[in-house]
Amino acid sequence: MTEPLDVAGLQRRLTEFAAARAWQPYHTPKNLSSALSVEASELLEIFQWLTPEESARVMDDDGTAARVRDEVADVLAYLLQFCEVLGIDPLAALDAKIDRNERRFPAPE
């Protein structure tokens, strides 16, 4: 595990993980976008019956905190694999989007 902890390093680990298990045929962009959406819903499920105030305190309970971190990891894993198979740089995509949003929604003075 001497890979650096950055997006490119994690994408490499995810690619090797899937290749070692021969999972690539399942990893079409269509399937990965479904899996990403399913994992985002599993994160939402933790919050669905909570009040806004309760939702702000989910990390106070160790079990819930672990569950939240686990679902965040799953969402990021499928997002990075989706980007990998389509040759998208997610950080550059977000950087460009923030640029566009700064023009679209000018901040009040």
| Span 43-62, contacts to a copy of itself by CB under 8 A | 43-52, 55-56, 58-59
What mask of x and - would describe binding to a copy of itself in positions 1 to 20, judged by CB under 8 A?
A: x---xxx--x--xx--x--x
User: In this structure, what token pair is assigned to residue 91?
Assistant: 């950080």
Give me the least distance between CB of 63 and a copy of itself, in Å please: 15
Spatial distance between the Cα atoms of 101 and 12, rounded to a whole number of angstroms: 31
23 HSE (CA, 13 A, CB side) = 12
Among 30, 63, 103, 104, binds a copy of itself (CB under 8 A): 30
Q: Enumerate residues 65-94 that contact a copy of itself by CB under 8 A.
A: 68-70, 72-77, 79-80, 82-83, 85-88, 90-94
Please provide the DSSP assignment of 26-95 as one string: G--HHHHHHHHHHHHHHHHHHHTT--HHHHTTGGGSHHHHHHHHHHHHHHHHHHHHHHHHHT--HHHHHH
Using rule CB under 8 A, residue 21 touches a copy of itself: yes
Using rule CB under 8 A, residue 33 touches a copy of itself: yes
Give me the least distance between CB of 98 and a copy of itself, in Å please: 5
